[in-house]
């Protein structure tokens, strides 16, 4: 992902925006899956 290369902070909003730009939200398990990940992954 370009987020990693640009050294941006990787958080829910950044990842969701990147997935939307690439039309891959559905492939990634929809936004609800990303929300679940945020709740279980330590910061």
For residue range 6-18, list pLDDT tens digits in order.
Answer: 777 777 788 788 8
Reported pTM? 0.56
Q: Is the dihedral of CA 42, 40, 11, 18 positive or negative?
A: positive
Number of domains in the chain: 1
Please check the confidence at residue 41 and state whether its pLDDT lies above 80. no
| Domain hosting residue 14, numbered range | 2-40
């Amino acid at each position: 992902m370009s987020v990693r290369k640009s050294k941006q902070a990787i958080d829910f909003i950044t990842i969701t925006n990147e997935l939307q730009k690439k039309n891959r939200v559905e492939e990634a398990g929809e936004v609800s899956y990303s929300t679940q990940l945020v709740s279980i992954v330590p910061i």
